[in-house]
Amino acid sequence: MKRFLLIILVLSIGVFINSCDKNLKPDFDNRKSIHLESYNETKEKLKLLSGLEIKKVQYVISNYQERSNQYDGYHLADEGIFIELSNNQVISWIWTDDGPDEGYYYSLFLEDMSEPLKKRNQNGIKFLKEIGEYYPGVESKWIDVSETKEWKNYIGKKIESVNYKFTRTKDKRYHITDAILGVGNDKVYISSIEEPEPTILPKLENLNFAPDWTIVIFDEKILKRHERKSL
């Protein structure tokens, strides 16, 4: 099942923002996902992350989900992930549009994008209330996952590296597909995938790239079991 309610919320936001005060407009359009920046910009930003400690991790998920999002070796998220580091640095992985006339894909920012995401959701909720389409299930949940079994192993540990992958899709545009965090001898993979079939979880059918959902993989065996395909 697609995240139908979330898509309605996001589309509603786009309509509502045009009538909002400019000060309330989210600033995703003023900030670039790292894969859209120049090589030198990216190189310098990634270099600054090396040696920083992971302090806190949050997921943003749709409130209509009634299933678990944490399984053995992997987690699921959809709207966003925020990884807070020492030195006030934040890694932000967010589902957002690539432009006014483009679809929604994931973006990777090496800065704190939590406030723009909250503003985007607040504007959408306000609009839905005005047109009588609001109910609690359309709101997002912010979940601190720092104390989960998987992330607890990395809290207080230093990041050795941050890498990313992107692909050219059928629309002839480049989109981020993966972020890979190197922590000690381990790697944590954050990947954009098709929404998993909820009735068969925790089993995964595939890890094919799609701009629908996010999987956070802590066990590389999961990657090896599935061939990852692009659109």
Per-residue pLDDT of the chain (231 residues; tens, 9 = 90+): 434 444 444 444 444 444 344 444 436 667 778 877 887 888 888 888 999 999 999 999 876 666 789 999 999 998 999 999 999 999 999 998 655 456 778 999 998 999 888 888 888 888 888 888 887 777 888 999 999 999 999 999 999 999 999 887 777 778 889 999 999 999 999 999 998 988 899 999 999 988 889 999 999 999 888 877 654
Q: What are phi and psi of 33, to 5 degrees?
A: -65, 150
The pTM for the full model equals 0.84
| DSSP per position, 27-50 | -GGGS--GGGS-HHHHHHHHHHHT
Q: Which pLDDT score is estimated for 101?
A: 54
